[in-house]
Amino acid sequence: MKSLESFPRINLGILPTPIHKLENISRLLGRNIYIKRDDMTGLGLGGNKIRKLEFLLADAKAQGAEIVFTTGGAQSNHAMLTAAAAGKLGMKAVLVLKQRGVTDCVGNQLLERLMGTDVRFVDTDDYADIYAEMDRIGKEMGRPYYKIPCGGSNALGALGYVACAKEIAGQGLHFDHIICAEGSGGTMAGLALGAKLFLPGTTVHGMMVDTDPFDLITPALMREAAELLEISPEITPEDYPLRDMCGPGYAIASEAGNAAVSLVAEREGIFLDPVYTGKAFAGLLELAKEGAFAETDNILFLHSGGAGGLFAIKMETAPDEL
């Protein structure tokens, strides 16, 4: 196996992020629930994308890129954090975002305005069109550029979460279960592969917050990341259990997700977000209710961030959206 340390990586995050017990929720559920604070990765408003960007932007720099492109929805946390990281590294970020969703100057749009980020909206959901637009703008600008896919979820980005699994292994506690949100797949794939390598006896559960075919995307990304590490572990569906927590749609609040956001805010003073982590925590509550966790199990919830989007989404779920 090629070591993680042999990949170019730029230190962007304040790592390791803390792990602590959610005392009140643990009491409520009668189970040992811990949280990994990747909302505190330290750049921008924190979040999971920082770990991926450490590998992706190192690759961009190594290739001599001066401009970094990425994409996502109008309120993409990933896009905002890419702009924050690029700025810190003296690179120019150009965000080619889908027009769909909240494009007002609130949430991540506001943060991009504050950073002076070059944001372009395109009226398409087709990634082929979006990447073609990046090439068009890149050529127009006439400087070397690098394209980061939606969510930073390619094999190289996923290495950020393979490294996170290794980090968790070094933090002293054994976890029987890890729960994370799955939106573009890199976090789940990285953690699930990383658990196979560094966390024996840990099952990573992906809580799907979008409707993409994650049963195909997750193992494919795990295999591609494994290939980068020059290993070929056997990967079966037991390695990446998935649960549909999307509700009425991607980036549309769900009742269960909002209830989880409120519960964790009220009992623990920690803010989840309605698009990713609230829905993922609702999945944790469902698993607990179904008896998936033994009383002696240690369960780790990955708080993957999302604070930027928290201020751009309606918490009321309109009845016609349910």
Ligand X SMILES: *Cc1c(COP(=O)(O)O)cnc(C)c1O
Catalytic annotation, pick one of 3, 6, 26, 76: 76
Q: Toward ligand X, which CB reaches closer, 33 or 192?
A: 192
For strands 32-37 and 19-21, give the pairing: antiparallel
The CA distance from 255 to 317, in Å, is: 7
For strands 177-182 and 92-98, give the pairing: unpaired
The answer for residues whose C-beta is within 8 angstroms of residue 151's C-beta and 6 or more apart is 49, 52, 72, 76, 78, 157, 183, 184, 185, 186
| Partners of 69 in the β-ladder | 94, 147
Q: Does 76 participate in catalysis according to the annotation?
A: yes
Give the pair of three-digit tokens for residue 319. 């009845």
The CA distance from 80 to 73, in Å, is: 11
The CA distance from 10 to 89, in Å, is: 9
Least Å from the CB of residue 113 to ligand X:
19
Least Å from the CB of residue 152 to ligand X:
7
The CA distance from 91 to 97, in Å, is: 19
Least Å from the CB of residue 205 to ligand X:
13
The CA distance from 194 to 200, in Å, is: 10
Give the pair of three-digit tokens for residue 98. 């889908």
Calculated CA dihedral for residues 76, 79, 85, 89, nearest 10 degrees: -170
Least Å from the CB of residue 215 to ligand X:
14
Give the pair of three-digit tokens for residue 113. 């305005």
3-state secondary structure of 44: coil
The answer for residues whose C-beta is within 8 angstroms of residue 70's C-beta and 6 or more apart is 78, 79, 82, 93, 95, 96, 147, 148, 149, 150, 152
Q: Toward ligand X, which CB reaches closer, 117 or 138?
A: 117
Q: Residues in the site for ligand X, rule: CB under 6 A?
A: 47-48, 77-78, 151, 153, 181-188, 273, 276-277, 304-306
Least Å from the CB of residue 139 to ligand X:
28
Q: Toward ligand X, which CB reaches closer, 138 or 183?
A: 183
Q: Toward ligand X, which CB reaches closer, 153 or 202?
A: 153
Least Å from the CB of residue 142 to ligand X:
31
Which residues are identified as catalytic? 76
